[in-house]
Amino acid sequence: MNVRIETIGQTTLVIPEGRLDFGSAGMFEKQLEQASPRKATAPAAVIIDCAGLEYVSSAGLRTFLLAARSAQRTGYQFAICGLQPPVRDVFELSGFSRIITIYADRAAALTHAPTGQP
């Protein structure tokens, strides 16, 4: 799995590509942690754009849960977007689609995030 990080204003965009499985979840968890705000003094957001994510298992779901909790604790927005059908299925079956904010695509997610753009 490859991960790219982009910053738009106060919003961090995390873009994983490939498979988020038992083998890659540990690395992804670390990358997410490093990319996330330590403290939220101003409105901030982390968005994970999953458009390039082909596969997620329970090991991968765990990293999303950790990231969402960390956002809630620290006080920044957290959302994911662009879920492909196999990944969407896993989010729905696990009930994660009820506890994590999901947008259809990156553009929709960014309209709700502090990007410094109107």
Q: Which residues contribute to the site for another protein (CB under 8 A)?
A: 21-23, 55, 57-59, 61-62, 65-66, 68-69, 72, 85-86, 89-90, 93-95, 98-100
The Cα–Cα gap between 72 and 87 comes to 23
**Least distance in angstroms from the C-beta of 79 to another protein:** 13
Q: Which is nearer to another protein, 33 or 89 (CB)?
A: 89
Residue 97 or 115 having the CB closest to another protein: 97
Question: CA Rg, the chain, in Å?
Answer: 13
Q: What is the largest CA-CA distance in the chain?
A: 40
**Minimum Å distance from CB 3 to another protein?**
19
Min CB(17)–another protein separation in Å: 16
Instruction: Label the pairing between strands 77-81 and 101-103.
Output: parallel
Closest to another protein by CB, 9 vs 62, is 62
Distance CA 113, CA 45 (A): 6
C-alpha span between 59 and 61 (Å, rounded): 6
